[in-house]
Amino acid sequence: MADLMKLTADEIEALKSLDKKYEIIRTHTLTVAAGGSSGFLCWGGGGGGKSFQILKALRELGKEPGKGLTLINTKLTGPKLCKILEADPTGLFLVEDLEDIFIERVVLNLLRSAFWGQEGPDGKMIRPITYQTGNDNWNFDFNFEGAIIATCNAALDDIPELRALRTRIDIYHMDGEREELFAMAHQIALKGYRDVTPALAVQMWDFWTKHWPENRQPDLRMLPRMYRKYPHLADLKLKLTWEEILQSMIDEGDGEPVDTPSEARSFRLQVALELRRKYGTNLTLILPEWTQRTGLSTKQSYYNALNVVNGRR
Q: Model pTM?
A: 0.77
pLDDT of 249 reads 92
Across the range 198-215, mean pLDDT stands at 93
Q: Are 268 and 305 in contact (CB under 8 A)?
A: yes
Domain boundaries, the chain: 21-173, 178-252, 263-309
Calpha distance 131→293 (Å, rounded): 45
Average pLDDT of the segment spanning 188-199: 95
Distance CA 192, CA 263 (A): 44
Residues 18, 175: contact at Cβ < 8 Å?
no
pLDDT at 258: 42
CATH code for the part of the protein at 21-173: 3.40.50.300
Q: Of 74-88, 124-138, 206-220, 262-276, which range is least confident?
A: 262-276
Strand order of the sheet with strand 64-65? 64-65, 68-72, 92-95, 147-152, 39-43, 170-173
pLDDT class of 158 with cuts at 50, 70, 90: low
pLDDT, residue 312, reads 45
Decide if pLDDT at 311 tops 50: yes
Statement: residue 141 has pLDDT above 80: yes
pLDDT one-digit tens code per residue, 46-88? 889 999 999 999 999 999 999 999 998 866 777 888 899 999 9
pLDDT (0 to 100) of residue 225: 94
Q: Is the pLDDT score of 276 beyond 70?
A: yes
Task: Give pLDDT, residue 160.
Answer: 62
Say what the pLDDT of residue 259 is: 40
Helix, strand, or coil (residue 167): coil
Quote the radius of gyration of the chain (alpha carbons, Å). Answer: 22
Q: Cα 27 to the chain's mean position, in Å?
A: 16
Query: Is 264 a residue whose pLDDT tops 70?
Result: no
Each residue's pLDDT tens digit, 13-41:
999 999 999 999 999 999 999 989 999 98
Q: What percent of the chain has pLDDT over 90?
A: 47
